[in-house]
Chain A
Amino acid sequence: MWTSEQIWTWLEEVKDPEIPVLSLVDLGVITQVKINEKGKVNIVLTPTFAGCPAMAYMKKAVEESLQEHGISDFKVTLSFDQPWNSNRISEKGKKALQQFGLAPPPSYDRILDLEILEQAICPHCQSTNTTLRTPFGPTLCRSMHFCHNCHQSFEQFKPV
């Protein structure tokens, strides 16, 4: 038999399809791993953005991971019960984002003031002398910025 701790460890191997250095666990989209008395595994995922086209892929990737580890009795559901926000990304996840060249979302306390978008830190040179170009980017979860120090455009994982 398996424990939920083991399953959490296995799920660290499942990566975000658009950011392959980031696991679904560090992204914070897995809100529940439960095993009932009959051994059935119930996993709940919550979307980063409601319109994120990668969610169906992530669900399938979790199902495949369970199968690879010999689990056949499972259910993976999508739910808004514990809505995702960018504070759910772990410290390890934020580090991985930065190494990937994507500015991690700044943490915020309860209420998000979008002015923090103007204070993005360049992931290439760490400068704070940056400007928000547009809150929309190549995927729903990214905004686009420009760094006046190293004169490069960069993207930030949006705080929500």
Chain B
Amino acid sequence: MDYQPALLDLLYKMADDQFILGHRNSEWTGIGPILEEDIAFSSMAQDKLGHSLALYQLLHELGEAEPDTLAFMRNASQFHCCHLVELPIGEYEFSLIRHFLFDHAELLRFEALSQSTYEPLAKVAVKLKSELKYHVLHANTMIRQLGTATPESIERLQNALMNAWPYALGIFEESKWEEKLIAAHLFTGEIKLKQEWLDKIKTILAQTNLKLPDAATVNPALGGRVGKHTSFLQPLLDEMTEVYKIDPSAEW
């Protein structure tokens, strides 16, 4: 299988995105601004950890290590997540905007992957996209409400959107395998995905008082896909693996 390295790269970046954002979302458990949002972020965290497990499992079936080992025994430079998911949760409006920008991209990604010629991935994608619909529904509802509510809510969201924007563009960092993935119909590619995503984001934002930042003149935050991360990732990994590393052989 000469497309194996390309496939591994694709699976790693998706699995790591889900895993890291899943953990970040879980940081809202118990401190959400209202009960429903606390539950929503906690539920999405749980979903995302499940999604990362399904993807790490696909990697394991291709000869990589066990899911727990992949999740808990790598250091930051071995992770392929984009910078957007690594950033601290910040104020609620930042987490909400991140969730809105990221989950729209994920839903489109898994819709595309449900047509992948790599059948095990296509089957997982069918499942995950059905769950991601709820994440997007939630994001759209909150963005529409708060994006038209008060001057303060609109200003806060607009600032969060401007801050998150370069990082959101970094989701679509191309890999060196891009042409191979497209030629083998494993995936439709990051450029096409980004265009579809911009169209969706634009449609929702047009229903609010929020302004879409320029995608052409802003430099995307790149490097995450090749193991170059923000200073936030390693401390996060240290924290989330602290208990596991005390005794990796422990039975739970």
Contact = CB atoms under 8 A, between A and B. Distances in A.
A51 B46 contact: yes
Interface string A127-148: 0000001111110100010000
Chain B residues touching A, range:
20 to 34
Majority-rule SS of B interface residues: helix
Majority-rule SS of A interface residues: loop
B244 to A, nearest CB: 17
B128 A50 contact: yes
Contacts, number: 73
Interface stretch (A17-25, A34-42, A80-88, A89-97): A80-88
B196 interface: no
A51 B127 contact: no
B123 A83 contact: yes
A154 to B, nearest CB: 15
B13 interface: no
B133 A114 contact: yes
Contact of B43 (A83, A84, A117, A136): A136
Contact of B47 (A49, A83, A84, A138): A49
Interface of A: 47, 49-53, 80-81, 83-85, 112, 114, 117, 133-138, 140, 144, 158, 160
Interface of B: 36, 39-40, 42-44, 46-51, 53-54, 120, 123-124, 126-128, 130-131, 133-134, 137-138
